[in-house]
Structure 1
Amino acid sequence: MFQIWTVGVFLSALILFGAAENYEGDLSIENEMQSPDEQPQCGQGSPAFQESDLNVTDGQARPGEFPWTVAVSHHKKFVCGGSLITPNIVLTSANCVYNKMAEDLVVSAGEWEYGNASEKYPYEEQIVKKLVFHKSFSLRTGANNLALLFLEKEFPMTYRINTICLPTEKRTLNSTRCIAAGWGKNQFKDKHNASILKKIDVPIVPRDICQDQLRQTRMGRTFTLAPNLFCAGGEEGKDACTGDGGGALFCPMPEDPKRFEQIGIVNWGVGCKNKNVPGIYTDVFEYKSWIVELMEGPTGTVTDKN
């Protein structure tokens, strides 16, 4: 029987994707940062990760590959993922930080092996000073499940810590493959989250197909996918899982495939890695005007690097 990971009573047992896998190789990579002071463009990872001799297993990211991926902790306990959209603003899911105080949250950036800051891969932390939830967020259905975290200070922008681009157009109607990253569980029944940042390659699933597939699960035949949500995944063995919630689903930019833009936020799902059971994501493009308005407000700062 399927188990549902989601944000509320109706959709119980929220699964935020993830898994811990073994890795081999020396954590130190020569020239991991070619120029720490160089300012990359949004959606651009470190070019050094492609040249490293670090051995990682299938499904693991390399250090600096997705530098916008951040971890959100509450009272020093990991709660979910997020994405850096400006040097001092994190985009995440509302359910992740629901009923939590801003001053109790910390965002860490530059993580690879979570919580283990090696000499070559140190992470940095910033305190959250303000939370903004979407006013129409529904804990029961997962609708409008997004929030912005405004940080006390800006993260320095390098290839190790960088922002993700917001979508320039609606991408969720296209047949394409995108990537999610996070430190969530590998399997739904796992007791622990992943230690190494995961890399999850999934296809976008058409809305009508996704809704039909979810009606075959314990969601029931009357299930209706909330507006402004979309589906990705449904391939056996490839999925986000418990602990990956709040993280970004990002796709190569059409005009520059080496850079990425965020089209979704990991929202909820029914189990993990089951065939024909896609995961559910918040459609970032549908909320872009809301996000940008808050980014350009007095609390946020916007650096246009598109």
Structure 2
Amino acid sequence: GLGTAAPDSNPLGAYACLSSGDWSPELPRCTLQCEPLVKPHVMFKCEYNSAEVNCSNYMRPGTVATYECDLFYTLNNKLVRDDNHCLEEGKWLLDPPQCEPDCGVPNPLVRNVTLTVAHGVDTKDVLEFPWHVGLHMRNSSAGILEWSNHCGGSLISPHLVLTAAHCVHRRDEFIRLDKKDLIVTAGKYRRDFYETEKHQQFSAVKELIVPKAYSGFHTKDAYDITIIDLEQSFEISNYVLPICVKIGNIDLENTEGTVVGWGYTENSSFNNGQHGVMSPILYKTYLPLMTWEECRQFMRRPPYNPRDHSTNNFLDHLTPDKFCGRFVNGSGPQPGDSGGGVFVAKDKKWYVVGVTSLKDRANTMAALTNVGFIDHQKFIRETMTKYRRNQQ
């Protein structure tokens, strides 16, 4: 730390050695001071002898510091004290706290939404789900390069996005997309990349992190999960906020999951082999969830036909690392909604429990990559640790 002497202890600046062996005046005693308190997203308040002092300067022993996190941030250790003390040896009693982005907090600006994913509900332009992001791909049309919405994703930290692995591959050739051909948008209500919105943010892609076990159609779309590391961290607000990642498996019994997206709507005839209408705005719908085992039994219930190629193809791709969401009145994720999260609310917070992977042709069931699957938990945990950024 830094040392100081008492002010005006010797205005002449001279000292005499007396016959007694003492100095006159008495030599000053240097006091070690504590380091300044400066930490991202932490607001400090410091007092010395009941008077406020600047926390960004060195401070004397006896200084007391209190702190709180910026808006949209929370202490990473809930048990930490909310005060700190500068000790005589020039060290703080405790290490400075770490504030991390809060997660899964509903946008407080949301009011009742109006009824109108297919047959879904308008999420309103106040962004009820501020963790949902758009993944846009660069296309060349008539020699003109343009960005178009390709998939969805879930923000799990200011710079990490959880999505589906097939969203970052060319399906037919199983070729990884060039990261330069992808861009991620947050804070958007409208699908159109070029329609400017007040709270929107953009970032290029720094890295695509895909599980080694993913091989697309070759392995029946198992391990259909990916994390995107963004070039630039998003600024956290009511409109852009990470969602919490569910640790461990969730009890799916009597559980309803929420999915959102800009995919095909009820005006689409996609299931008849024709491309239809993509939603221009963000829609949500609710899916009763069921386990992998329950889903397979449900799909094989009468009048199941063992020769039904469509159902069998869906069952082939319903790998053990997935669970299902059942369509209700034809409402469920469609092409264009892939990569978006499956959200569940618990204890006033939202958690991502799945990633939209695929659906059956008859719009009966959606297969969702299980975030709680042990391999996926390890993948997410290790990736978030490896790619952690200190400036958060």
- Range into which the TM-score falls when normalised by the shorter chain: 0.7 to 0.9
Deviations 1:177-213 (A, max 9, x none): 1100111111452523111111111111243332134
Residue in 1 that maps onto 2:150:
79
User: Residues 163 and 228 of structure 1: is their aligned pair in 2 closer, same or farther, counting only changes over 3 Å?
Assistant: same
* Alpha-carbon distance in 1 for matches of 2:391, 2:350: 17
Residue in 1 that maps onto 2:142:
none
Residue in 2 that maps onto 1:291:
380
* Alpha-carbon distance in 1 for matches of 2:368, 2:279: 21
Question: What is the DSSP-based 3-state SS (H/G/I as helix, E as strand, rest coil) of the residue aligned with 1:71?
Answer: strand
Residue in 1 that maps onto 2:129:
66
Residue in 1 that maps onto 2:49:
none
Aligned runs of 1:1-306 on 2, under 5 Å?
A: 38-39=71-72, 41-50=102-111, 57=116, 59-62=121-124, 63-75=126-138, 76-98=147-169, 99-115=176-192, 116-118=195-197, 121-140=198-217, 141-171=220-250, 173-186=252-265, 187=268, 189=270, 190-215=275-300, 216=304, 218-220=310-312, 223-224=315-316, 225-253=318-346, 256=347, 258-271=348-361, 274=363, 277-286=364-373, 287-297=376-386, 299-301=387-389
Larger relative contact order (C-alpha < 8 A, sep ≥ 6)? 1
Give the letter aligned to residue 42 of structure 1.
C
**RMSD (CA atoms):** 2.4
User: Residues 283 and 131 of structure 1: is their aligned pair in 2 closer, same or farther, counting only changes over 3 Å?
Assistant: same
* Alpha-carbon distance in 2 for matches of 1:302, 1:45: 25
**Runs of 5+ consecutive residues of structure 1 not aligned to the other structure:** 1-36
Task: Please say if residues 229 and 282 of structure 1, whose CA atoms lie closer than 8 Å, have aligned partners that are also in contact.
Answer: yes
Question: What is the DSSP-based 3-state SS (H/G/I as helix, E as strand, rest coil) of the residue aligned with 1:184?
Answer: coil
* Alpha-carbon distance in 1 for matches of 2:110, 2:314: 46
Task: Please say if residues 247 and 377 of structure 2, whose CA atoms lie closer than 8 Å, have aligned partners that are also in contact.
Answer: no
* Alpha-carbon distance in 2 for matches of 1:252, 1:231: 18
What is the TM-score with the length of structure 2 in the denominator?
0.61
User: Residues 95 and 302 of structure 1: is their aligned pair in 2 closer, same or farther, counting only changes over 3 Å?
Assistant: farther
TM-fit CA distance, 1:147: 0.8
Question: What is the DSSP-based 3-state SS (H/G/I as helix, E as strand, rest coil) of the residue aligned with 2:208?
Answer: strand
Question: What is the DSSP-based 3-state SS (H/G/I as helix, E as strand, rest coil) of the residue aligned with 1:208?
Answer: helix
User: Residues 60 and 136 of structure 1: is their aligned pair in 2 closer, same or farther, counting only changes over 3 Å?
Assistant: same
Task: Please say if residues 185 and 242 of structure 1, whose CA atoms lie closer than 8 Å, have aligned partners that are also in contact.
Answer: yes
* Alpha-carbon distance in 2 for matches of 1:47, 1:249: 21
Task: Please say if residues 45 and 160 of structure 1, whose CA atoms lie closer than 8 Å, have aligned partners that are also in contact.
Answer: no
Residue in 2 that maps onto 1:29:
none
Question: What is the DSSP-based 3-state SS (H/G/I as helix, E as strand, rest coil) of the residue aligned with 1:49?
Answer: coil
Task: Please say if residues 314 and 359 of structure 2, whose CA atoms lie closer than 8 Å, have aligned partners that are also in contact.
Answer: no
User: Residues 303 and 122 of structure 1: is their aligned pair in 2 closer, same or farther, counting only changes over 3 Å?
Assistant: same
Task: Please say if residues 45 and 64 of structure 1, whose CA atoms lie closer than 8 Å, have aligned partners that are also in contact.
Answer: no
* Alpha-carbon distance in 2 for matches of 1:213, 1:221: 15
Give the letter aligned to residue 265 of structure 1.
V
TM-fit CA distance, 1:172: 5.0
Task: Please say if residues 172 and 263 of structure 1, whose CA atoms lie closer than 8 Å, have aligned partners that are also in contact.
Answer: no
* Alpha-carbon distance in 2 for matches of 1:241, 1:152: 29
